Amino acid sequence: MYEPDNSEDYSGQFKLRIPQSLHSFFVRHSKREGISMNQYCSTVFVSISKNDAVYSK
């Protein structure tokens, strides 16, 4: 699998297939927050990565 040499080579995009129920969850929650689903998911992923950093110490 190709892995870029530096962060400039990452596009910031990836396609992820998820169950319809999870998709529905993201749609509902992002609408409730008044933000796009993309922004909502990005926030969730950042939160997960921060938690991972805390627990990996």
For the chain, what is the domain count? 1
Q: For 16-54, write each residue's pLDDT tens digit.
A: 999 999 999 999 999 999 999 999 999 998 988 887 666
CA geometry: angle 11, 47, 20, nearest 5 deg: 75
In a domain, 42, yes or no: yes
Domain that holds residue 42: 24-57
Residue with the bigger pLDDT between 24 and 7: it is: 24
Inform me whether the pLDDT recorded for 8 exceeds 90: no
Q: Is 0.85 topped by the overall pTM?
A: no
In a domain, 3, yes or no: no
Return the half-sphere exposure (C-beta side, CA atoms, 13 A cut-off) of residue 13: 1
Tokens of residue 33, six digits: 């927050």
| Closest alpha carbon to 30 in 43, 16, 21, 19 | 43
